Amino acid sequence: MSNEYTPAKVWVNDAVGGNQWANINSPESGARYEKKLPKGEHALQLHSLGTPNGQKVTILLEELLALGIKAAEYDAYLINIGESEQFSSGFVDINPNSKIPALTDKSGSEEVNVFESASILVHLAEKFGQFLPKEGNARTKTFNWLFWAQGSAPFLGGGFGHFYAYADEKQEYPINRFTMEVKRQLDVLDTQLSKNTFVAGEEYTIADIAVWPWYGNLVLGNLYDAAEFVQVRTYKNVMRWAKLIENREAVQRGRIVNCSWGEEWQQVVERHSAEDIDTVMKLRV
Ligand SMILES: N[C@@H](CCC(=O)N[C@@H](CS)C(=O)NCC(=O)O)C(=O)O
């Protein structure tokens, strides 16, 4: 392995790289241009994209709607991160971290902005009293795995996915390092799922909803075209669980919201009512 790069005394932002994700960030936070966000009629206004972090929220919202909770109706607007829409003044006002997903909840006496996907999951689960045990060990175990997902998935996405799938040059050192970590995480999950039906126990919770879009999609072959490289079939319990979750109708609905790529039946670019999803799902042959 060669290493021809010697870091300068002081880092400067002269990174080169032609891939679509190489240059969207800069070391400065904050808005880059003035633009208001669109507003819909529902109390819940989501600004997101159908990546795994975005899918977590739309899957939960669809699960809540499937239970007949009408107050979970939402408007979902697309934030195209490849076009720098996360840096508009309107988006930065609701999430100073400039990353999807972000939600405004206007249902209370004062509206509240919620960012970080896990914070949105907890906010909605508590608001509607669903998918998060109310007390005791079951609640703690759900938080264990919810936080595990938030801490672990960046190694899968920002680490493994970036270097294996997106980086211009395939470099052995980062690919080795992150593949090892992803396989270790899959083994952790596989062991846990050998003892329980769901990630945090016998109940389907927001922990499953946080973990599935990353590790479920990975083992089902929907992420980074890496199923063979990572040998996902060896994680039999993860595979069993991934299919179980995938079979839920709310998951099939939520995972295609704010998606602007893939097949026609996978693209609900904006969602304002159930019909927006129904219409697109009917295109599936
Ligand atoms: N920890 C955050 C991560 C969110 C995140 O990384 N979002 C990505 C898309 S999956 C994003 O918006 N990237 C845009 C950027 O980095 O500028 C969460 O869970 O909400």
DSSP string, 207-273: HHHHHIIIIIHHHTT-STT-HHHHTGGG-HHHHHHHHHHHTSHHHHHHTTBT--SSSGGG-B-SBSS
Q: Which atom of ligand 1 is nearest to the CA of 158?
A: 6
- Laid out side by side, the sheet with 112-115 consists of 74-78, 44-48, 102-105, 112-115
Give the chain's radius of gyration (CA, Å): 19
Per-residue pLDDT, 25: 84
Examine the pLDDT at 2 and tell me if it is beyond 70.
no
Asked if residues 258 and 270 have their Cβ atoms less than 8 Å apart, the reply is yes
pTM value surpassing 0.95: yes
Residue 116: CB within 6 Å of ligand 1? yes
To test the ligand 1 pocket, which listed residue (24, 25, 47, 53) has its Cβ within 8 A of the most ligand atoms? Answer: 53
Residue whose pair of structure tokens reads 């129904």 in the numeric block: 278
Interhelix angle 172-195/236-246, rounded to 10 degrees, is 80
Residue whose pair of structure tokens reads 């990975």 in the numeric block: 218
pLDDT in tens, 187-198: 999 999 999 999
Residue 95: CB within 6 Å of ligand 1? no
pLDDT in tens, 232-278: 999 999 999 999 999 999 999 999 999 999 999 999 999 999 999 99
Residue whose CA lies nearest to ligand 1 atom number 14: 99
Residue 84: CB within 6 Å of ligand 1? no
Residue whose CA lies nearest to ligand 1 atom number 13: 99
Residue 188, exposed/middle/buried by CB under 10 A (0-12, 13-18, 19+)? middle
C-alpha distances in Å from residue 117, one per residue of 123, 124, 193 = 10, 11, 23
Per-residue pLDDT, 1: 61
Q: What is the distance in A from the centroid of ligand 1 to the CA of 156?
A: 13
Residue 81: CB within 6 Å of ligand 1? yes
Ranges of H-type helices in the chain: 52-66, 89-94, 117-128, 136-154, 172-195, 206-211, 217-219, 227-230, 236-246, 249-254, 274-281
115: three-class secondary structure by DSSP: strand
Asked if residues 240 and 166 have their Cβ atoms less than 8 Å apart, the reply is no
pLDDT in tens, 31-84: 999 999 999 999 999 999 999 999 999 999 999 999 999 999 999 999 999 999
Residue 162: CB within 6 Å of ligand 1? no
Residue 48, exposed/middle/buried by CB under 10 A (0-12, 13-18, 19+)? buried
Domains assigned to the chain: 1-130+261-285 (3.40.30.10), 136-254 (1.20.1050.10)
